[in-house]
Amino acid sequence: MLHRRLIRLFLTLIAGMVSFVAARAEDAREDFLGELALPGRLVFKMKKGDDPRWAQPDFDDSAWDTVRLRDMPSRDGIYWVRYKIKRRQAVSPELRNGAGDESSLPYTGIFLTLRLTLRKWGAFNPENLRDGFAVSTVASYEVFWDGRLIGRNGRPGATPAEEKAGYLDNLFQLPIEVTAPGEHTVAIRMSSQETGFSSSTYSLNIVMGNFRDLLVVRTRQALLSVVAFGGALVVSLVAGLGWLLAGRRRSLLLLSALCGVAAAMQALQAWRWLFEYPYPWHYPRLVAITLLVGLLGVLLVRFLQEAFAVPRRGWQRGVVVAVMAGAWFVTPIYNAICLVTVSCAFVTALGISFWAVRNGRRGARYVFVGMLISLLLLRLSPRDFLEGTFLFSFGIPMAGCLVVVTLQLNDERRAARQAALATARLEAELLRKQLQPHFVMNTLTALLEVVEQDPRTAVTLIEALAEEFRALARMSGEKLVSLGEELALCRTHLTVMGLRHGAKHVLQTEGTHDNAAIPPAVFLTLLENGLTHQRGQRGAVENVFRLKAEQLGSESGVRYEFFSPGEPMPKKDAEAKGAGVRREGTGMKYVRARLEESFAGRWKLTDGAVEGGWRTVIELEMKEAT
């Protein structure tokens, strides 16, 4: 039931996400192609130096160098950039086919998002006045429109000391009179002394549109990041609490760290649009984001390794880190580094979850499918994934991780319940064992005889029997009892059986510690088996059972060797005898179940015939495994 509901929810969410992302990606491609297909690109001129006359529309800049907007020089004093645009009309036609709109410029990924949001979020209306001038760049500048200063960002300086850094993003409103149709000259006086990036060039990004629309879009830009931040933060806190309160499981700690890092990263993303920052912060911010993305990838891999108990983790992590580090050297574009990092992490996660599915790990299917979809989303929208689609492309793996942790917690709960039931069953079994007709009725029959023939012995027999029942009642509720108690019970039992058989049974011990902990009735069962299966006890002067204990190695391990004397009886006659019939009958099953209950995976039992009898060896590790 749980699974079907989960699957349905998963599918619905995924369908929604994929269509959203695909739509945005579709737009991105279209627009970009549309841009490239523009006839007649704008011409940009640049000149290093500084002269206020260069702002004038009638200044002759034909001698100036032609540049591309992505090749602005960094840390190179003050320089001017000029271009002319023709406006056929005050309002712009559809941006889609770009007809008549010469101010469409090539964009970087982030700016593309801005345009997309313009379109998709309905803020854009082709009828609106195009009086907005948005600039995003790592520079300080002054913008002149037809010689008139329309906006300023910081103060350009010929030397680093002279420049005053401006903000990364700016939006200026053009006075209405300058938006008339005709040719216009845009001149920008700029400098970038604190570019931060090691590269000698940076890009200047300009978008024109309706001022109000651009403003609205800017304020909405951070929306998805803030949502992702909130969600990741909540999950991180919850997982962290879960780790603290539910037994310090490492997978929960990793999940908490993972979501915490995701939240931090999204906070950094959202910061740009929510709180503006001076452009020198851009480079460190990008580096920080890239590092966080790398950390995110590593944590994701680490989490899956932990949750699915994957072997040979070290080299997997090593490979991932190496590829991620390699990306830093391959490309200077931080978006690309992030893309490689995330792709590497996702592919590794995909591989791990595939292995986990093959090896029957709980919840691995969901993670595998989730990673497939995340990779698909990444592929569909490689430019947008850090901001808008991050919520989805990382949200899906997060959901998968949550599912895995939940399922594992559920499994543990069920296992704990089973264990409790098993313990109760063993307790009942122990009580039942000794109240079995075979033991009780035969003892009573023997007692009848002894009462009539030898009353004093009868008294001893009755007292021994009472002591045995008392000890069993005391011990049956425990998972572990002291060896001293167990040996006392064994000796009492031997007394009873000795009186019944008319033989003398003795239990010798060597190297045993009375306060060692063992499960109840383990040696008693071995003793019973010995009495049942061995011959040579009738009429023998003395039957000696031996229990030897020794330390195992350097750990707190112990080795018990139990010897019961006598030649083994033919199986058929042993079968006819009594309870705890075969060697591997209910008696030995009880012993193994009790050992597993208290020493899960840390015990070993072997037995076999030796000269003169039967030997059983039990090895235990007392320490709690970490």
Partner 1 sequence: MNVLIVEDEPLVAQRLERFVRELLGVNAGQIRVAEALDEAGARLSEAPPDLLLLDLNLSGADGMELLQRSVAGAFHTVIVSANTDRALEAFEHGVLDFVPKPFTRERLDQALKRATSAGARADYAAKYLAVRKHGRVELIAVDDVVYAQGAGAYSELVLADGRRELHDKTLEKLAAVLPPVFERVHKSYLVRMSAVKALHAHEGSAYEAELKNGARLPVGRTRYKEIREKLR
Binding site for partner 1 (CB under 8 A): 437-438, 440-442, 444-450, 500-502, 538, 569-573, 575-579, 581-582
Give the type of residue at 171: L
Q: Return the number of the residue (442 or 460) whose C-beta is nearest partner 1.
A: 442
Q: Which helix (H) or strand (E) holds 172?
A: strand 169-173
3-state DSSP assignment of residue 2: helix
Nearest approach, Cβ of residue 578 and partner 1 (Å): 6
Nearest approach, Cβ of residue 531 and partner 1 (Å): 11
Nearest approach, Cβ of residue 454 and partner 1 (Å): 10
Closest CA to 202 of 139, 277, 285, 114: 139
Q: What is the DSSP letter of 129?
A: B
> Quick one: tokens of 398?
């997060």
* Residues 6+ away with beta carbon under 8 Å from 193: 75, 140, 157, 159, 160, 163, 165
Q: What are phi and psi of 577, to 5 degrees?
A: -65, -85
User: H-type helices in 388-482, by residue range?
Assistant: 390-393, 395-434, 437-453, 455-475
Tell me the β-bridge partners of 517.
482
Q: Return the number of the residue (152 or 535) whose C-beta is nearest partner 1.
A: 535
How far is the C-alpha of 397 from the C-alpha of 607, rounded, in Å?
A: 50
Q: Helices 2-36 and 395-434: crossing angle, nearest 10°?
A: 170
Q: Return the number of the residue (204 or 499) whose C-beta is nearest partner 1.
A: 499
Q: Return the number of the residue (247 or 570) whose C-beta is nearest partner 1.
A: 570
> Quick one: tokens of 111?
């700016």
28, 381 in Cβ contact below 8 A?
yes
> Quick one: tokens of 276?
């503006």
Nearest approach, Cβ of residue 431 and partner 1 (Å): 18
User: H-type helices in 546-613, by residue range?
Assistant: 571-577, 586-598
Q: Return the number of the residue (46 or 446) whose C-beta is nearest partner 1.
A: 446
Nearest approach, Cβ of residue 554 and partner 1 (Å): 44
Q: Return the number of the residue (462 or 579) whose C-beta is nearest partner 1.
A: 579
Nearest approach, Cβ of residue 467 and partner 1 (Å): 20
How far is the C-alpha of 133 from the C-alpha of 129, rounded, in Å?
A: 12
Nearest approach, Cβ of residue 587 and partner 1 (Å): 12
Q: Return the number of the residue (371 or 499) whose C-beta is nearest partner 1.
A: 499
Q: What are phi and psi of 72, to 5 degrees?
A: -70, 135
Closest CA to 37 of 86, 84, 104, 87: 104
Q: Return the number of the residue (120 or 582) whose C-beta is nearest partner 1.
A: 582
Nearest approach, Cβ of residue 444 and partner 1 (Å): 5
